Amino acid sequence: MNGKFQFAARMLKSRWFVVVAAIWIQCCSGSSYNFGIYSQSIKVALGYDQMHLDTLASFKDIGSNVGVMSGLVFDQIPPWGVLIIGALQSGFGYLMMWLSVTGRISPPALWQMCLYMFLSANGQTYFNTATVVTCVQNFPRSRGIIIGLMKGFLGLSGAILTQVYHAIYADEPSSFLFMLMWLPSAMSLLWMFVIRPVSSPKRGNENRNLYLISAIALVLAAYLMTLIIIENTVTLSHVVSLITCSICALVLLAPLGVVYKSESEDAKAQAASSNSSPYSSSSSLPPSLTPSLTQPLLRGESSSRLPVSVQVVVNPPEPQSERTGPKVVYSESEGDMSIPESIVENPAERVKPHRGEDHTFTEAVAKADFWLLFVAMACGMGSGLTAIDNMGQIGASLGYSTQKVGTFISLLSIWNFLGRLGFGTVSEVCLHRYRIARPVFLALTQATMSVGHLMIATAFPGSLYVGSVVIGLCYGAQWSLMPAITSEIFGLMRFGTLYNTITIASPLGAYYLSVQVAGHIYDYEARQERITAPAVNTVGLGFLRWFKSGELLCHGPHCFRLTFIIMAAVSFFGCLVCLILVARTRKFYARVVYARLESQRIEKQEQERGLQAA
């Protein structure tokens, strides 16, 4: 019995359980995707018109995408502190909105509601930063798959939260705000001490276990997709909603089996190693005295916050008290000697980092690679978010029924998830096996998204379904590729801050394309038609537009054709920017990333030989 308790404690302390806890937090962190459920109750309760509601939605998008502060905070305090800040901020924002909508406090001014919306949406960036960055640090060799998993479950969170809402509160839109007030905060506080860097020996094939979790995610996505289709066809009773939500919870518990499997294998490997020679079969010296090519010194692999770079230890390790000076390391990226910033007495002496080495924030923003990635994301994510936010209006203008529009809008979250998970995994496999750099995939998604925009612009039968699938997949893919590329080029020391800064490109691009392009073109076409119509309610994932009686409406493919042609051109321009980034980083991937992967492959083979000899 004592052995079982020890093994259970081992599971709870493992880096695999960190991944599972992070998944559970991410599943409750996508509240911004559910704006369509509670926005109508805000509009009715507070007497807002469409302009007010669009303003509120804009602050929601800004808050959920601008996570620079969460990255800066993560650089200074442990992950659990970041989760506490996110829980307090998100909980406070949704609490104030719930109190306002239910009349428990006097109606706030619009600027106050915008502040509450910004705080609640921005709180999820703290959850996202703490989970994603920590898991990448724990699994630096599989960062593409890890980021795809984290971003994928975040993409599914909107559908998951909807199932929980139907199970607990039935159809009370104002209660959805109350659920968002306590559920994400409670989940993050419950597991906040689990989310931490974990030092662990690299035994076995960690990608195999990550693929198992990915398979579970795919099962969950298929299950949710089936539920969405059924719910848009028939009305489910509250009892059935409770059952379907319980099944969803059981699927989310399945990754615990991967934790058990991994720790069982590690325990057996440790037992076999303890019965053999205390030193590696490939050397007569202890591993600590054998010069070798090492992995980046991450918090997941070392207890210190040393900068991340591929290093060869030149000076043999000595007790700290006996060291007479800083340890000199060899940087593979350019072949020069440099001294880690964390042990340089005068930071001014720090050598400017090369690609693959740790960059500070100011060092990164001074590089052309940073701005190429930023512009590419403004084009790709901006045009994708604009299309997603306006899908409801597009469907209505093309004459689709409300039921059909609701179905493909709900399914967008599934395509978004598949893009995040699929391209995170595919890019990792192609990087390891075929030496295809991730920026190549980023350029591919931009070009494919351009094709998706053109499909919708043509307005041929079924084009909206096909186009929404293409745009959803490519939009989700960019959310997994961008963080991985950022970590590879600029290192992990300021990863949270840098990738959250690049994320700002998404709402900036979407604001310009939505307001300055799509809005103006739609209004112009509507005035040309000079049609007034009764109320029509069309719902998109992000923005909602209610065209009240007397307002201009536009019907037909011409309403958005020019908009999508422009967005196709913008996406294609983003593809060209990505190709420039591919050309600039080609030698870096060849000399550093691929060389590191080869050294890891050789190291893994040596470990397997050692286990076989034991």
What pLDDT, on the 0 to 100 scale, is given for residue 538? 41
Maximum CA extent, the chain = 86
CA angle 346, 355, 299 (to 5 degrees): 65
CATH class of this structure's domain 358-586: mainly alpha
Percentage of the chain with pLDDT > 90? 48
> 255-268, pLDDT tens digit by residue?
999 999 988 888 88
Report the mean per-residue pLDDT for the chain: 81
| 557-592 exposure pattern, b = at least 16 Cβ within 10 A, e = fewer | bebbbbbbebbbebbbbbbebbbbbbebbeebbebb
**Could you tell me how far CA 96 lies from the centroid of its own chain?**
27
Average pLDDT over residues 479-493: 94
Cβ burial of 52 (10 Å; 0-12, 13-18, 19+) is: middle
What's the distance, Cα to Cα, between the start and end of the chain in Å?
29
User: Residue 318, exposed/middle/buried by CB under 10 A (0-12, 13-18, 19+)?
Assistant: exposed
Q: Which residue has the higher pLDDT, 170 or 175?
A: 175
Q: What is the C-alpha separation between 302 and 455, in angstroms, rounded?
A: 50
β-bridge mates for residue 294, sequence order: 311
The pLDDT of residue 369 is 96
Q: What's the whole-model pTM score?
A: 0.78
| pLDDT over 60 (residue 277) | no
* pLDDT value, residue 287: 45
pLDDT digit string, tens, across residues 294-338: 444 333 333 334 344 444 444 444 333 333 333 333 333 333 333
Dihedral over Cα of 142, 204, 421, 150: its sign = negative
Residues of the chain with CATH 1.20.1250.20: 358-586
Residue 315 phi, psi dihedral angles, 5° rounding: -90, 130
Q: What is the pLDDT of residue 330?
A: 34
Task: Give the residue-averaged pLDDT of 533-545.
Answer: 41
